[in-house]
């Protein structure tokens, strides 16, 4: 398998007021270029911690993390992050929020005209060219998340990292943005690593679903290879036996093999 992101024997230990907290242990994962990977598991299993390690926002206590054969030593525009909170600057328009990222990455080497073209192209990619002059308070939650995705894609990252980007949205908006994300990834060929709690979202979007064991000292418990053709249609997949089998495999892991500690205590 061609390795684009390589994680070898990664551990993460936090120093807290109560002492050492062992968040992750023995993380080994390879991601191919163009793969869509989802990380799933119960709360506290270290999904976001692992994503932050790949982003370079955290440094592993031990182990090796590589992207395109280079050590991940800190944040970089080549690994763009989209959080659940869109983090838009409220006093800037949609255009200005995206342009800020474009200018930071390409401002030293490209003309103003080219920077403008990049900004407009990113907004057009997520279907928001009509709303470029609106400010965050003037658009819906789903549109704000699309601006966040546009901002990330405008930097032409090698890897798109997403931490539950649709978690705060209503079901219909969430479904619409999942479909839009499928189209965007097909068009850009992006490598994506995404944290989710949603089993159906994981199966719909993923090439592989990485299932985490419960924390502390969480690790990768199993990986499901999702061999569904692309493009994917959610309505057609609702009646697909293979889709149901993948969904059942993830549910089996989460609720039988890795039942949440609170559920075990209640039982």
Q: What is the pLDDT of residues 175-227, one digit of tens each?
A: 988 998 898 888 888 999 999 999 999 999 999 999 999 989 999 999 999 99
Backbone CA torsion sign across 267, 199, 136, 157: positive
Domain annotation for the chain: domains and CATH numbers: 34-58+72-266 (3.40.50.300)
Whole-number Å distance between alpha carbons of 237 and 101: 37
- DSSP β-ladder status, 5-16 and 62-67: antiparallel
208-212, strands of its sheet edge to edge: 79-82, 159-163, 191-195, 36-40, 208-212, 220-225
Going by C-beta distance under 8 Å and a sequence separation of 6 or more, which residues neighbour residue 126?
A: 146, 147, 149, 150, 153, 180, 184
Q: Which pTM was predicted?
A: 0.90
* CB contact at 8 A, 140 and 128: no
- pLDDT at site 25: 96
Going by C-beta distance under 8 Å and a sequence separation of 6 or more, which residues neighbour residue 58?
A: 12, 49, 52
Mean pLDDT on 89-103: 95
Whole-number Å distance between alpha carbons of 64 and 11: 9
Q: Which residues pair with 114 in a beta bridge?
A: none
pLDDT single digits (tens) 46-79: 999 999 999 999 999 999 999 999 999 999 989 9
Mean pLDDT on 11-22: 92
Residue 187: half-sphere exposure toward Cβ, Cα within 13 Å: 13
In angstroms, what CA-CA distances link 70 with 61, 140, 170, 215, 262? Answer: 18, 39, 39, 29, 40
User: At 30, is the pLDDT very low, low, confident or very high (cuts 50, 70, 90)?
Assistant: very high
Structure-model confidence comparison of residues 107 and 267, the more confident one? 107
The pLDDT of residue 86 is above 80: no
Q: Give the chain's mean pLDDT.
A: 91
Could you tell me which of 100, 103, 149, 141 has the C-alpha nearest to residue 123? 149
């Amino acid at each position: 398998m061609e390795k684009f992101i390589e994680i070898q024997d990664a551990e993460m230990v936090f120093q807290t007021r109560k002492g050492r907290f062992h968040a992750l242990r023995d993380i080994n994962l390879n991601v191919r270029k163009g793969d869509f990977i989802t990380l799933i598991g119960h709360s506290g299993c270290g999904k976001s911690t692992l994503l932050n390690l790949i982003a370079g926002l955290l440094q592993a206590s031990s182990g090796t993390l590589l992207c395109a054969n280079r050590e991940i030593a800190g944040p970089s525009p080549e690994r763009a992050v989209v959080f659940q909170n869109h983090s838009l600057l409220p006093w800037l328009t949609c255009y200005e929020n995206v342009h800020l990222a474009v200018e930071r990455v390409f401002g030293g080497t490209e003309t103003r005209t080219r920077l403008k073209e990049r900004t407009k192209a990113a907004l057009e990619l997520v279907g928001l060219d009509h709303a470029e002059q609106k400010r965050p308070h003037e658009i819906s939650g789903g549109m704000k998340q699309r601006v966040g995705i546009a901002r990330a894609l405008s930097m032409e990252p090698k890897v798109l990292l997403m931490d539950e980007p649709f978690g705060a949205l209503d079901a219909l908006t969430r479904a619409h943005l999942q479909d839009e994300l499928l189209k965007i990834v097909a068009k850009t060929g992006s490598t994506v690593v995404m944290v989710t709690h949603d089993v159906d979202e994981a199966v719909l979007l993923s090439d592989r679903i990485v299932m985490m064991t419960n924390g502390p000292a969480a690790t990768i418990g199993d990986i499901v290879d999702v061999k569904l053709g692309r493009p994917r249609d959610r309505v057609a997949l609702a009646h697909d036996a293979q889709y149901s089998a993948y969904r059942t495999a993830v549910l089996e892991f989460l609720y039988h093999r890795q039942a949440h500690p609170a559920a075990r205590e209640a039982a």
